Structure 1
Amino acid sequence: MNLVRKPHLKNLPLLLHFLLFLLHFHFLCSYGYYYTTQPLRCTDTSRVCTSFLAFKPRPNQTLALVQSMFDVLPNDVTVEEGMGGYIFIRKNCSCAAGMKKYVSNTTFTVKSSEGFVDDLVMKAYDGLSLWPNTSRRRAKNGAVIAVRLFCGCSSGPWNYMVSYVMREGDSVASLASRFGVSMDSIEMLNGIKNPDNVTVGSLYYIPLNSVPGEPYSLKNDTSSAPIPAPSIDTHSDIRIDAIEVENPVVFTFEEIFSSTDGFSDSNLLGNGTYGSVYYGFLRDQEVAIKRMTATKTKEFLAEMKVLCKVHHANLVELIGYAASHDELFLIYEYAQKGSLGSHFHDTQTKGSSSLSWIMRVQIALDAARGLEYIHEHTKTHYVHRDIKTSNILLDASFRAKISDFGLAKLVGKVNEGEIKCTKVVGTYGYLAPEYLSNGFATTKSDVYAFGIVLFEIISGKGATIRTEGTVTKNPERRSLASIMLAALRNSPDSMSMSSLRDHIDPNMMDLYPHDCVFKMGILAKQCVDDDPILRPDMKQVVISLSQILLSSIEWEATLAGNSQVFSGLVQGR
C-alpha cells in the first residue's frame, strides 16, 4: 500500500505563492528593509506641517535624482555637517484622511524591467517609504508608482520631526548626541521602553526645534555679473544693466531675424497681450521668441527682473534677450506641446491630442508648484497677475511651466501681501472680485485665477462661455465659475454628481475616477471663494493636488492595462 500522499494540484498555486513570499521576505531581510514601523496616528485631517526625512544617497543617486524621487526643489535639501553622508529632505506632511496617519506623498519612476515594483521602491527609499500598494506587480521601465513616505507633525514642544532609519552602530544615545536633543525626548516620542533595544532597519522619529543640516551648495554656483544694456530709447527711466541677473545670453538682431526665417508666418506661434511669439532655432536649440515694440519696455523689464532671478522646473526658463532700435526680444525655452489652453480651445490641437485625466492632474500640480514657488519660496515674493491656461505651457513630456511674467509684481516680505494697482490688468474671467473692485493684487488673486484654470481642466471649456440668453434669444456671456459652482451645488458628493458630470470634458470619454474629479471641483470652488481670506494658499493647493494625483494613479493602476487609459503618459520624474 502506498502511504505517500500526493499533493493536490489545486493547492499548487497557493504553495507557489507561499514560496514566493518566503523568497521576498528573505530579500527584504537581506537588504535590511523588513521593519515593523507604522506611521504616526493623527486625527486632524486638515493639518499640514513641515517635516524632514534623513536619507543617505548612494553614489549613483545624484541631487537631481533625489529631487525627482522625493519631489522636492534644491533648496528643500540640506546636508549633515561632518562626514556622515546624510542629507535632510524637507517635505510637507499631512494627515491622510483614509488612514488617519501622517504621510507625505511622492511618485517614483521605475528605471528597470527586472524584479518587482515594491522591491525597487523599498530599496530606493531605504526604509523611508510605506509598503507600496502595487499587488506585487512586475517592474516595467517608465512606470510611475505612487509612494507614501513616513513623516510626522509635532503635537508637543518641538517644531519639526525627522524620519530616521536606524543603522548598524546607531543607538538612542548616539542619535541624541548627533541631533542635539535629549534621549528622553526620542524615547517618549517613539514609545521606547528600553533604549538598548532598538531595531536596525526600523524607522524612528527625532524631534527638533531647528532645521537640520546646512544648505546644499551647488557646484559652479558663481555670482552673476550685470548684463550689458541693449540700445533702448533713452526716454525710458529704467536701465536693464541695473538688474541683477544670472547670465542670460545676449543675442543680435540678425540672429533673431535669421532663426525665425525673417519672422515668417509659418514660424508664428501666437499673439499675446504684449507681443507676438515666434518659433526659432537659435545656436543649436529650439526657442520661443517674444517680439515686442520698444514702447513695451516696462513689460520687457518686468519679465527680465523675474525670470533672471527666479528658476524652477515649473517656470518657463529665460535663455536671453536681444534689442534693436525699435524692438525688444525675449528668448525662452521652447514648449513643444504648446499651451494648455490650446489643447482645450484650439480646434486643430484639441482634435489631435486629447489630454487624459492623469495628464490633467499632473499639469495642474506642475502649475501649482510653479505658482507656489514665486509666492513663497523666492527671496522676494511675486504675484503673477495673469494666470490662465494660455500662460501654462507644456513641454515634450506634457509637463507644465508657467509663462508670461510681463504683469508680475513684487510682493515683498511675507506680511506685505497687497499691491495697489493704478490699473486693473489681466484677463476677464480670471480676475478676482476684490481685484476688480479695489485694485488690490495679492497672492490670493492668483489663487482665484488658478481656481478658474482647474475648472477649465475639468470641463475643457473657456473662462467665459457664450450661452443662449434666458430672457432674449440673443447669446450672452457667462463666467465658467458661475456655471461650475452651480453644478457643484447640485452635486453634494462624488456619488451624486450628475449635475457636475454634465460639465466634464467629453474628450475624456468617461475615463476618470469620479471621486478625484469631484475633489478637484471642490478645490477649485475653494480657490474662487468671494472672500480671499477663505481661499487656500498655493501650498495647500499643491498638497491637495498631490493627493488627487496619488489617488488617480492608484485608480489607473486598478485598470491593470485593460483600458486604453493606461497609457504611461505620466512620465518625467
Structure 2
Amino acid sequence: MASHNLLPTLLTLLLSLRTRAFAPEISTEEKGKYPFACDGHAKKCNASLYHINKGLQMEQVAYFYSVNLTQISPTLHRNTQDYLVTVPCYCETVNGTTGYFYDAPYTVRENDTFQNVSNQIYSGQAWEVGDEEDTFKKGNKVPMHLLCGCIEIDSQIVVTYSVQKQDTLLDIASRLSSTTSGILSMNGFMNGDPSFIKEDWVLYIPKEINGIPTSPSKIDGTALESEKPVIYTAEEIEEATNNFDETRKIGAGGHGSVYFGVIGGQEVAIKKMRSIKSKEFLSEVKILCRVHHINVVELLGYASGDDHLYLVYEYIQNGSLSDHLHDPLLKGYQPLSWTARTQIALDAAKGIEYIHDHTKKRYVHRDIKSSNILLDEGLRAKVTTKTDVFAFGVVLAELITGQRALVHDNWEPNKMRSLITVVYKIFEDEDPESALENVVDRNLQGSFPMDYVYKMAEIADWCLSENPVNRPEMRDIVPTLSKIMSSSEEWEASLAGNSTVFSGIYNGR
C-alpha cells in the first residue's frame, strides 16, 4: 500500500536528490550504514534520532543521549513505545571520515562492548571509528558518534532510523511523515530499490516537520491509471471459502456477505455480491484498484461467476473498531486505552484524507462507521472506502463515549437517540467539560487526559456541524489529531508504567 505522504514540491524532490548518505567502497549487503555527507550543506542543524526502545524509561533515554526530556517525543510502533530524540547535529571529521554526527558521552561499564552499547542503547546508530578496543575500558568516558543528517529544506528534519524486523519502506515512510521516493533519494546505497531493505540498516528519513506534506503533485506509489487488480476464477473463490461455508462468514452488508478465505497461502476477505449489483461492483473496483495506503483496506482482486461477483480484499485479523468499543469483553477483546483510541482516530483520519484528497479523483462515500474501520494485529486502523466527514464525527464520539451511534434514551428506554445529540448537548451545556466527563467510556476506568479528550470532542462537534459548509476538510483534522495523539502518548509515558493504561489496552495488547 502506498504512503499517505506527498512530496511537497518538485523543487523539494530535486533538492533531496542532492542530499544523501555517501557510501564508501563496500557493498550494501555488507554494511547498510554510512555517515550523511555534509559537503555543501549546513555545518549544524537540529536532527532526530529514532530510539528503538529495549526497556529504557524516558528519563534513561535522556541520560544516555545527554538531552533534556523536552527533546524526546514518544512514538508508538506496533506494541512498543519508541522515542524520537532531537539533537544538535554537526558536520565533523571522525578518524578521517567526514559526515554529520552527534556525540553522546558514554561512561563505559564492566563487560561493555562498543557493539552491545550501540545496539542496546543507541539503536545501532553509533559509528565505529576503529579505536574502540583501546578506548572502551571500564570507567572511560568515550564519545558515541551517532549518525545524523542535515538538509536545507526548512519544512523537513532528517531522522536517523534503524530498520527493524518486518519493516517495509512504505511502513517507515508512513510512520515518519515521509515518502518512499524521498527516502530512496536520501540513501543512495539502496540504488533506488524500495522492495529490498535489511534489518539493522541505518536509513536517513526526510521527515515533514508539520506532518503530512500538503502538495498533491506526487504521491508515493501513486494510484496509477495502469494499476489493475488481480482477476481470479470463480473456482478459486469457491475453493478459498470452502464453497462459502457458513462457518467462514465474517460479515454482511447492504451489498453482500463477506467470507474468510485463503488464496495462495494468503488470508483474504471475500465479498460476495449478486450480479445485479454490477454498477456498485465496477465502481468499487475502479476506486480500490487505485487506492493504496497503509490505513486503507487493500483490494487484491476480483472474480465473476454466473450469478455473483466477488471482491477479494486483504484480511484484517483483529476485527472492527465496533467490536473493540461495544461490549468488547463479550467478544473476546480487552477495552481500548485512551492512547490506543487516539492512534485509531488518527489512522482512520489519514485513510479518509488520502481517499478525499490524494486519489486521482476525489472519492467520497457515505458509509463510514466503526464497523467499517478494521484493526490489524497492532490495533492500527484501516478504513474501507465508504467515508465522510460527518460520519467520522460520529466515530470520534464512539471512541470517546464507547456508545453506539444509536443508543437507548436514559429517560425513555423504549426510544432510541442518536449519539450526535449527545455531542450537541455537551457543547450546549453551561459546563461542557463536566458534561463530557459524564459520558466518557466507563471502560477507560477514569484513566484519560481530560484536556485531550475535550479536544477530540471539539473535533467531533466540528465534524457534526449541521451546516455542511461549516464542517472541516479531513486535511484540517489530521494535524490536530496527530497533536492529540503525541500529547496523549506523553501523558501515558508520564505514568511511567505504574498504570494499567501503559500498554495500549488494559491488561496488555
What's the counterpart of residue 384 of structure 2? 403
What's the counterpart of residue 463 of structure 1? 405
Deviation at 1:292, TM superposition (A): 0.3
Q: 1:565 to 1:553 in 2, by over 3 A?
A: same
The answer on 1:527 being equivalent to 2:463 is: yes
Deviation at 1:166, TM superposition (A): 6.2
The answer on 1:564 being equivalent to 2:504 is: no
The answer on 1:544 being equivalent to 2:476 is: no
What's the counterpart of residue 81 of structure 2? 144
C-alpha contact (below 8 Å) 1:121/1:132 kept by paired residues:
no
Q: What pairs up with 1:292-441 in 2 under 5 angstroms?
A: 292-345=273-326, 350=331, 352-405=333-386
**Whole-angstrom distance in 2 between the partners of 1:202 and 1:291:** 51
Deviation at 1:348, TM superposition (A): 6.3
C-alpha contact (below 8 Å) 2:50/2:83 kept by paired residues:
yes
C-alpha contact (below 8 Å) 1:468/1:475 kept by paired residues:
no
What's the counterpart of residue 481 of structure 1? 420
Q: 1:122 to 1:544 in 2, by over 3 A?
A: farther
The answer on 1:167 being equivalent to 2:91 is: yes
- Which residue identity is paired with 1:460? G
- Which residue identity is paired with 1:336? Q
What's the counterpart of residue 5 of structure 2? 73
Deviation at 1:382, TM superposition (A): 1.2
Q: What pairs up with 1:199-238 in 2 under 5 angstroms?
A: 216=182, 219=193
- Map Cα deviations across residues 421-474 of structure 1 (whole Å, 9 max, x no partner): xxxxxxxxxxxxxxxxxxxxxxxxx2111111100111111112222566xxx7
- Map Cα deviations across residues 12-48 of structure 1 (whole Å, 9 max, x no partner): xxxxxxxxxxxxxxxxxxxxxxxxxxxxxxxxxxxxx
- Which residue identity is paired with 2:375? L
What's the counterpart of residue 453 of structure 1? 395
TM norm structure 1: 0.55
Deviation at 1:397, TM superposition (A): 0.9
Deviation at 1:120, TM superposition (A): 8.3
Matching residue within 240, 258, 277 for 1:259: 240
| Alignment gaps of 5+ in structure 1 | 1-63, 88-103, 124-128, 135-139, 151-163, 170-200, 222-242, 409-445
C-alpha contact (below 8 Å) 1:484/1:503 kept by paired residues:
no
C-alpha contact (below 8 Å) 1:108/1:146 kept by paired residues:
yes
Q: 1:348 to 1:330 in 2, by over 3 A?
A: farther
Q: 1:79 to 1:490 in 2, by over 3 A?
A: same
- Which residue identity is paired with 2:61? V
**Whole-angstrom distance in 1 between the partners of 2:343 and 2:357:** 21
The answer on 1:285 being equivalent to 2:220 is: no
Q: 1:567 to 1:108 in 2, by over 3 A?
A: farther
The answer on 1:110 being equivalent to 2:35 is: no
- Which residue identity is paired with 1:73? N
Matching residue within 473, 483, 502 for 2:438: 502
Q: 1:81 to 1:484 in 2, by over 3 A?
A: closer
Deviation at 1:251, TM superposition (A): 1.5
Deviation at 1:347, TM superposition (A): 6.2
**Whole-angstrom distance in 2 between the partners of 1:353 and 1:518:** 24
What's the counterpart of residue 450 of structure 2? 514
**Whole-angstrom distance in 1 between the partners of 2:487 and 2:17:** 40
SS class of match (1:383): coil
Deviation at 1:148, TM superposition (A): 8.4
Structure possessing the higher relative contact order (Cα contacts under 8 Å, 6 or more residues apart): 2
SS class of match (2:415): strand
- Which residue identity is paired with 2:418? S
**Whole-angstrom distance in 1 between the partners of 2:325 and 2:261:** 25
Q: 1:280 to 1:454 in 2, by over 3 A?
A: same
SS class of match (2:408): strand
**Whole-angstrom distance in 1 between the partners of 2:468 and 2:360:** 24
C-alpha contact (below 8 Å) 1:130/1:147 kept by paired residues:
no
Q: 1:401 to 1:521 in 2, by over 3 A?
A: same
**Whole-angstrom distance in 2 between the partners of 1:403 and 1:384:** 10
Number of aligned residues: 361
C-alpha contact (below 8 Å) 1:263/1:278 kept by paired residues:
yes
**Whole-angstrom distance in 2 between the partners of 1:346 and 1:215:** 43
Q: 1:288 to 1:142 in 2, by over 3 A?
A: closer
C-alpha contact (below 8 Å) 2:53/2:81 kept by paired residues:
no
Deviation at 1:342, TM superposition (A): 2.0
Deviation at 1:204, TM superposition (A): 9.2
**Whole-angstrom distance in 1 between the partners of 2:336 and 2:504:** 12
Q: 1:204 to 1:332 in 2, by over 3 A?
A: closer
SS class of match (1:512): coil
**Whole-angstrom distance in 1 between the partners of 2:454 and 2:407:** 21
**Whole-angstrom distance in 2 between the partners of 1:288 and 1:141:** 23
**Whole-angstrom distance in 2 between the partners of 1:251 and 1:517:** 46
- Map Cα deviations across residues 67-121 of structure 1 (whole Å, 9 max, x no partner): 8xxxx6364683536654179xxxxxxxxxxxxxxxx9x9956254579534888
**Whole-angstrom distance in 2 between the partners of 1:466 and 1:506:** 17
Q: 1:261 to 1:491 in 2, by over 3 A?
A: farther
**Whole-angstrom distance in 2 between the partners of 1:121 and 1:532:** 49
- Which residue identity is paired with 1:371? I
SS class of match (2:404): coil
Q: 1:122 to 1:337 in 2, by over 3 A?
A: farther
Q: 1:282 to 1:214 in 2, by over 3 A?
A: closer
Alignment root-mean-square deviation, CA: 4.0
Deviation at 1:310, TM superposition (A): 1.5
SS class of match (1:352): coil
| Alignment gaps of 5+ in structure 2 | 23-45, 94-147, 156-178, 185-191, 196-223
Q: 1:404 to 1:278 in 2, by over 3 A?
A: farther
**Whole-angstrom distance in 2 between the partners of 1:355 and 1:109:** 25
- Map Cα deviations across residues 452-509 of structure 1 (whole Å, 9 max, x no partner): 1100111111112222566xxx72221111112212332646xxx3322221111111
**Whole-angstrom distance in 2 between the partners of 1:391 and 1:257:** 25
**Whole-angstrom distance in 2 between the partners of 1:482 and 1:277:** 32
C-alpha contact (below 8 Å) 1:491/1:500 kept by paired residues:
no
Deviation at 1:325, TM superposition (A): 1.2
- Map Cα deviations across residues 198-226 of structure 1 (whole Å, 9 max, x no partner): xxx99897679xxxx996587489xxxxx
SS class of match (2:312): strand
Q: 1:78 to 1:120 in 2, by over 3 A?
A: farther
Q: 1:143 to 1:301 in 2, by over 3 A?
A: same
Larger radius of gyration: 1
Q: 1:204 to 1:291 in 2, by over 3 A?
A: closer
SS class of match (1:475): coil
**Whole-angstrom distance in 2 between the partners of 1:132 and 1:121:** 10
Matching residue within 253, 261, 273 for 1:272: 253
**Whole-angstrom distance in 1 between the partners of 2:317 and 2:50:** 24
TM norm structure 2: 0.62
